Amino acid sequence: MTLVDVESLSVRTADGSRLLDEVSLSVAAGETLLLCGAPGAGKTLLAKAIEGVLRRRDDLTVDGDVRRVGDVALVFQHPEVQLVRQTVEHDAAFGLENRGVPVAEIRTRIDRYARLLGVEPLLDRDVHDLSRGETTLAALLGVLVTEPDVVVLDEPLTALDHRNAELVLDAIDRLRSHGTAVVVAEHDLRDLLSRADRVVVLDDGRVRETGDPRHLAATLRAVGAKLPVATELALERDVRGGDVPLTTDELRE
Amino acid sequence: MSFAHGALDPRSKAAFLGAVAFAATVLARLDVLAVLGVVLAVTVAAGRGLSVRTWIGSLAPFRYLIPLVLVLNTLFYAGGETLWGVSVAGVTVGVTTGGLLTSAVIASRLLVIAAAAAWFALTTEPAAFERALELVGVPWRVAFVFSLTLRLVPELRARFRNIEDAQRSRGLRFEGGPLARARARVPMFVPFLASVVQYGYDLADALAIREFESTARRTSLIELEYGPVDYGFYLAALAVLAATAAVALGTPLA
Amino acid sequence: MNSESSVEIRDVRYAYDDGTPVLRGASMDVADDAVHALMGANGAGKTTLLRLVAGLREPDAGTVRIAGDDPVGFAPENPRAGFFAETVAAEVAFFPKNRGLDVDRHVEEALAAMDVADLRDRAPLSLSGGEQRAVSLASVLAGDPAVVALDEPSSGLHAPAQRRLGELLCGLDRTVLCSTHDADFAYEFADAVSVLVDGEVVRTGDPADVLSDRDLLARAGIRTPGLVDLAAELSLARVPSSLDEAIEEVAER
């Protein structure tokens, strides 16, 4: 079932430059989709368009259509801005309070999703004291309790050290096993490529190709995405198509 | 009996703070202000969650202001015996006993009110403050913006510091007279304003995403409930007001 | 002071304004003209150490000695933090002007070095992330400092741009101290690596040695470079120092 359908989406600035040009893509239930491309290719803009917050900007002209069946939620590239209350627990409740969800239900959801993400110890913490990875997790909790069908993550690995990156990757894995569709916009694909069901390659605001990660590995390299070393190695040796490894384990075989 | 400062309802704390501030403003007497100071200190010490040291420490910025207040007010409020004076353009400026007393009262009043406010701020969580305002009748959006503002200051200060570093490292100097120093600040305003504006946009997007604009009837996870100690604070507030009235009206109690 | 060191750091301690200690007796030497990478988890003290070297902060204890009298150039993690001018040229002119150098010459050289001469009349804030990073670095180089301290210079850059940056830093006739999370970048381009753990430098040495020490990397929260992983997985005799070498090694089997 298709949850999000983007059709011929174009975004222009006031002076006419095209930030996104006739972009079409779809997000199916339960799938993990990567939006890849060099920085500046339009990934953040597309992520925002998929969520729907883009329609608020009056300095941009948006053409085309984004149809959504179900809820789409977004975690920003700088998630600190997204945390509006002092403690993680109070912040997670914010979106639900605004919707008027009964308090008992709010508590149940916070418990459930904190357990899903493994962040129960963070609930009482002050959001200012969190590490960068923990901040992403706190923002993710605030998003999950609204029970979206699709979670969009905008460059979640930026500026994260290895430990924090592992926290975020682990969270993505948990989301996937929970059945949520996950859309990740990133250019550092070293750990993400093996987790993707499908890849959309963006180049200068346009969709260059869409498809299977292995088949698109060469294109990804061409647009400057950072690939796993095993994949790079295989590409150098002209391996193509379904044989392209995405992890060092696969390379061995 | 012991209580936790953080567990108190912000409304009862606000009532106490208001009463103390009112008393300090209305009664211009050093002995009264001293008593209020002691009352505050006892309150802070009696409760858990705020040490007297942290509390006093939060008033550190006043160490620049208080001497200034004392000096200026001493020189310009005259009364009683003149201890030292000089004539300037026909007006006598100097140190008088009246001046000393008045400036002491003004400085003490400032400290008492600031100390009471500091107690409130240090022990009240923004979300609880937000809820308290809402319960008192402030529209939720306004109450929420108040609590959001509390977060803004450290965030913007951190951003300003980053900008300052970037400029200083490229040779920006803050020496010279006031005019030179003011001009030196100019290359910092543009990135700072840009950063503030960007923050505004990002925050607006974040709030939109989190359904800030929803018109549904809000619920609140944060529940405020009065405990026995809260009633104690309300009573204390009333007692302070009553004592203030007594002193002001010059009854034999004073 | 060691005549071969540009920067000498001895037992430096530093705590934030609120009293949280961040550097607890860090010591290290940076060799003249070297590209020296500083690595460690978020919060280990990398940015603080860079600021101390740049003279933006004074250590609470210990010494930081820089050879020569020149100011140390500093590029912040967020390139936009420095942008105040209307054009790139004016921005890059700031440092040499403050130092009383020949502005035109230094600006031209710096723009050429970073390959952004064609952006000279553009507004810095209108540039893409990668271009902003380049302009930020150009504005530091233009002041002709003997030592440059760069905070996460490769962050947010796509693969080709990272490569270009690495090559540029290696080719600079200056001492470069840069913090990075990117183990691959450090592995390929750094002459030396220092690892910070909880405010202390626990190891300084050759990238090939330091970044193959898995225990150290795990302790420090640093990702293993892809090539090191590859060597382990494929049981290679030694860790290849570049992708090309790796390909040769694999081809031989």
Predicted local confidence at residue B254, as pLDDT:
44
For residue B62, count other CB atoms closer than 10 A to its CB. 16
CB distance B170–C73 less than 8 Å? yes
CB distance A100–B221 less than 8 Å? no
For residue C43, list chain A residues with Cβ-Cβ distance below 8 A: 131
Query: Searching chain C, which residue's CA lies closest to the CA of residue A247?
Result: C230
C250 shares contact with chain A (CB less than 8 Å): yes
* Residue of A38, A190, A237 with shortest CB distance to C247: A237
d(Cα C69, Cα C72) in Å, to the nearest integer? 9
CB distance C250–A160 less than 8 Å? no
CB distance A160–C157 less than 8 Å? no
Chains B, C: CB pairs < 8 Å: 64
Among C residues 107-166, those touching chain A with beta carbons less than 8 Å apart: 128-130, 152, 155-162
DSSP one-letter code for A194? G
Give CA separation, C216 vs A22, C194, C211, C212, C220, in Å: 48, 11, 8, 9, 6
**For testing contact with chain A, the best of B157, B209, B212, B217 (most A CBs within 10 A):** B209
CB distance A84–B206 less than 8 Å? yes
Among B residues 80-119, those touching chain A with beta carbons less than 8 Å apart: none
Dihedral pair phi/psi, residue C160, rounded to 5°? -60, -40
Predicted local confidence at residue B118, as pLDDT:
92
pLDDT in tens, A154-204: 999 987 888 888 989 999 999 999 999 999 999 899 999 999 999 999 998
* Residue of A56, A78, A97 with shortest CB distance to B219: A97
Subunits close to C (at least 3 CB pairs below 8 A): A, B
B170 shares contact with chain A (CB less than 8 Å): no
Query: Searching chain C, which residue's CA lies closest to the CA of residue B184?
Result: C98
DSSP of chain B, one letter per residue? --EEGGGS-HHHHHHHHHHHHHHHHH---HHHHHHHHHHHHHHHHHEES--HHHHHHTTTTHHHHHHHHHHHHHHH---S-EEEEEEETTEEEEEEHHHHHHHHHHHHHHHHHHHHHHHHHHH--HHHHHHHHHHHT--HHHHHHHHHHHHHHHHHHHHHHHHHHHHHTTT----SSHHHHHHHHHHHHHHHHHHHHHHHHHHHHHHHHTTTT--SPP--S------HHHHHHHHHHHHHHHHHHHHHTT-TT-
Complex confidence, ipTM: 0.83
B173 shares contact with chain C (CB less than 8 Å): yes
C132 shares contact with chain B (CB less than 8 Å): no
Q: Would you say residue A251 has pLDDT above 80?
A: no
Tokens representing residue C27 in the block? 């010591």
Predicted local confidence at residue C4, as pLDDT:
80
Predicted local confidence at residue C196, as pLDDT:
95
**For testing contact with chain B, the best of A45, A77, A86 (most B CBs within 10 A):** A86
For residue B169, list chain C residues with Cβ-Cβ distance below 8 A: 54-56, 71-74, 140
Task: Classify A202 as helix, strand or coil.
Answer: strand
CB distance B162–C76 less than 8 Å? yes
> pLDDT tens, position by position, for chain B (254 residues)?
578 888 899 999 999 999 999 999 999 889 999 999 999 999 999 988 888 888 998 888 888 888 888 888 888 777 777 777 777 776 767 788 888 888 999 999 999 999 999 999 889 888 888 999 999 889 998 999 888 887 787 788 888 888 888 888 888 777 667 777 777 777 788 888 888 888 888 888 889 888 888 888 889 988 888 989 999 999 999 999 999 998 888 765 54
Where chain C has pLDDT below 50, the residues are none
* Residue of A39, A236, A248 with shortest CB distance to C247: A236
C244 burial (CB, 10 Å; 0-12 / 13-18 / 19+) is exposed
* Residue of A82, A95, A128 with shortest CB distance to B211: A95
d(Cα C62, Cα C14) in Å, to the nearest integer? 9
**For testing contact with chain C, the best of A35, A158, A233, A239 (most C CBs within 10 A):** A233
Min Cα distance A46 → chain B (Å) is: 15
Question: Confidence band (pLDDT; 50, 70, 90) for A50?
Answer: very high
For residue C221, list chain A residues with Cβ-Cβ distance below 8 A: 161-163
Query: Searching chain B, which residue's CA lies closest to the CA of residue C92?
Result: B170
Subunits close to A (at least 3 CB pairs below 8 A): B, C
C80 shares contact with chain B (CB less than 8 Å): yes
Hey, what amino acid is at B14?
Answer: A
B215 shares contact with chain A (CB less than 8 Å): no
For residue C52, list chain B residues with Cβ-Cβ distance below 8 A: none
d(Cα A220, Cα A200) in Å, to the nearest integer? 9
What mean pLDDT do residues A23-32 have?
Answer: 94
d(Cα C173, Cα C34) in Å, to the nearest integer? 9
C216 shares contact with chain A (CB less than 8 Å): no
Predicted local confidence at residue C1, as pLDDT:
57
